[in-house]
Amino acid sequence: MQTGRGNWNSRLGFILAAAGSAIGLGNIWRFPYTAGENGGGAFVLLYLIFVFAIGVPVLLAELAMGRASERSAVGAFKKLVPGGLWPAVGGLGVLTGFGILSFYSVIAGWTLRYLYLAIMGTFKGDVTAATSGPIFTNMAGDGSMAILLMGIFLLLTILVVRGGISGGIERAAKILMPVFFLVLIAMVIRSVTLPGASQGIEFLFHFDFSKLTAAAVASALGQALFSLSIGMGAMITYGSYLPKDINLPVSGFIVALCDTAIALIGGLIIFPALFAAGADPAAGPGLVFVVMPTIFGAMGGFGYLFGIAFYALLAIAALTSTISLLEVIVTYFVDERQWSREKATWTMGILCFLMGIPSALSQGAFTWLSSTPERAFPGGDFLSLANIVFGNYFLSIGAIFICIFVGWKWGIKAAVEEMSRNGKLPVAAMWSFMVRYVCPVAVVAVLIYAIWTNSYL
């Protein structure tokens, strides 16, 4: 312990916790449905390019800021370059944390309901898209149920975040992430051997550039940032608990690799099964919830157990992400406003609950928040709008400013030094070039393009 704020206990603990933040509903829920809406292969290729060309450099920049300052998303800017308006970028990150957590916990709540349904044997036997579709719509359209589920999920998040860094978060992540990986692999094997599965693999990996739209470019960037948990200071916050003797670039790169692998695995589970079941890839946020049960049905006797394991672990993967979202907010109030962890966690958790209510009611419960054929809600419905505004726009804006700050204000030299504490950073020159020029310019260009073509909404 160097600061009295707590630290990760080991490199593995940090990697699993950071990977736990990165891996979540973004990989299993958001990635497949966004890929489905944007035509598949071309989107996937762009997403991969953005992850490695923009995501990894920004991820390392955030971790370096965090470890060098040992402060929250806001405090890091203050400490590294005192004076000026830069801490506002951290403030934007805290705000983004509220925004993402508010809709994310609604989806996370759904996973709890599906866990219950799996335990009750709902997905036994011959489940088709036609039978699983109404199960989803009924659940999502039930407003009080959605609010209750979201509340339960936020309560779980609060209980872990209260426990602090290594006590709660690290211990949970260490055990559960590897188990999740094994269950997913088993599901890929089942999905790709379903009759008609090859169409799904083709959809995911056939890079047909004629299908590439402005919306696909913009969404691929948003997805890359969202999936890696970057652009809002979550990795600044996690980096601030990182001991100095851990190799930062290697750890960061491993986190990015794990996250990307799980997104592709998510796609490899969903799309073969989706085509085998004859469902529509562009079905939107309900996609995963409609398609997954058809796989358990096709798994025979094992399907029952796999269904339970899958939803339990998906809920846990979501929990390690909601923990990091709340942690960004809580660390800010603890570090900068001198609140106790207990007070910050409860107050901010309850605030997120209130902010999540419109999203919870937007899947059919309240017509004017939902997507209806007569009236187009921007983005589809309130939840999708929040997802686009916070998950795409705000993260992109945050990423631009983080690059400019690290590349031009705090300084490349200091950042490279922080990253090279445990061995030289072999690609320092390339990283610097990416952070100073390529990343900010590319993100600005994609943002302008997205706004110009009105492609997010």
Q: Which residues bind ligand PFF (CB under 6 A)?
A: 21-22, 24-27, 100, 226-227, 229, 232, 234, 321, 324-325
How many angstroms separate the CA atoms of 35 and 346, rounded?
Answer: 36
For ligand PFF, the closer of residues 111 and 321 by Cβ is 321
Q: Minimal distance in Å, beta carbon 377 to ligand PFF?
A: 23
- Give me the amino acid identity at 263: A
For ligand PFF, the closer of residues 332 and 377 by Cβ is 332
| Helix, strand, coil in percent for the chain, rounding step 5 | 75, 0, 25
For residue 380, list its beta bridge partners.
377
For ligand PFF, the closer of residues 225 and 412 by Cβ is 225
For ligand PFF, the closer of residues 22 and 135 by Cβ is 22
Q: Minimal distance in Å, beta carbon 152 to ligand PFF?
A: 18
Q: Which two tokens stand for residue 396?
A: 């992109």
* Residues 382, 385, 391, 395, CA torsion sign: negative
How many angstroms separate the CA atoms of 274 and 291, rounded?
Answer: 6
For ligand PFF, the closer of residues 135 and 385 by Cβ is 385
Q: Minimal distance in Å, beta carbon 232 to ligand PFF?
A: 5
Contact 273, 191 (CB under 8 A): yes
Q: Minimal distance in Å, beta carbon 395 to ligand PFF?
A: 7
Q: Residue 341: which residues within 8 A CB-CB, separation 6 or more?
A: 161, 162, 164, 330, 334
Q: Minimal distance in Å, beta carbon 53 to ligand PFF?
A: 18
Contact 359, 99 (CB under 8 A): no
Q: Minimal distance in Å, beta carbon 237 to ligand PFF?
A: 8
Closest residue (Cβ) to ligand PFF? 26
How many angstroms separate the CA atoms of 380 and 408, rounded?
Answer: 38
For ligand PFF, the closer of residues 62 and 418 by Cβ is 62
How many angstroms separate the CA atoms of 38 and 51, rounded?
Answer: 17
